[in-house]
Amino acid sequence: MEPSADRIILGENLTVLPTLPDASFQLVYVDPPFNTGARQTRRTLATAPDPEGDRTGFAGRRYASRLLAQSSYRDAFEDYLAFLAPRLAEAHRLLTPSGTLYFHIDYREAHYCKLLLDELFGRENFLNEIIWAYDYGARTKTRWPAKHDTILVYAKEAGRHHFDAEEVDREPYMAPGLVTPEKAARGKLPTDVWWHTIVPTSGREKTGYPTQKPEGIVRRMVLASTRPGDRCLDFFCGSGTLGAVAAKHGRGYVLIDENPEAIDIATRRLAAVAAAAAATSP
């Protein structure tokens, strides 16, 4: 495969990822499905550091598998970790030393997936737990309604990772009267809580893909953690939001999905982005 080419690939990501060269992406965005429907080999992946442990992680660190093994969580969850583990190990291999992983996950699995990511990336490389808060859909009256997703952020090597806060779009101050007019006009940098709407039903971004994420939240990741000319990877690409954002901001991309419908939507979407760019170029 041409290492620097933009690509949209139909295929099983665990088959495609090993064909990509080491350290070839500055940003990896992962938004995996939960119920894959695939049969997986069950194994407990939740671990704790133990010099006499049964598993060896990066840099020779030893771990013992025990946390979830001692819990009552259902087998389907262990299957999910087994499904994710080899794919996230590939993400670690594919990131540049200054690169960043953004792992987008449902709030019900986030804390347990963090155990896996701590093992694969090292807890010292954990940067953020971003909360994407939105407001849509039905509201239960039996508990606090759940209206957020979690995005876990890991550096390949914390301290060497690229992060440019000045490139990120700003937000209105919640109390603009407490800051100077100049600051109020400029807005504030986002924190680790992102208030952003979903893709509106009648919005221009809407592709019809059921799990489409808004460009606004992905754009923050791309602008903060990459430079123009850097390359981005999404191996559960769905409707191709990462590719659309990357293309609009001078970044390269590789998108992978095993769903032909997703690949068709992403291909048409990226073709439209390219056509719009060509129409506005001098």
Report whether 79 contacts 40 (CB < 8 A). yes
Spatial distance between the Cα atoms of 106 and 198, rounded to a whole number of angstroms: 15
Q: What is the mean pLDDT of residues 112-130?
A: 95
Amino acid letter at 239? S
Residue 182 tokens read as 């100049």
**Helix (H) or strand (E) segment spanning residue 229:** none
Residue 205 tokens read as 């971004």
Average pLDDT across the chain, whole number:
84
pLDDT for position 48: 56
Read off the DSSP letter of residue 60: G
104: pLDDT strictly greater than 90:
yes
pLDDT tens digit string along 15-71?
999 999 999 999 999 999 864 344 433 344 445 566 666 455 555 666 555 444 333
| Domains assigned to the chain | 7-280 (3.40.50.150)
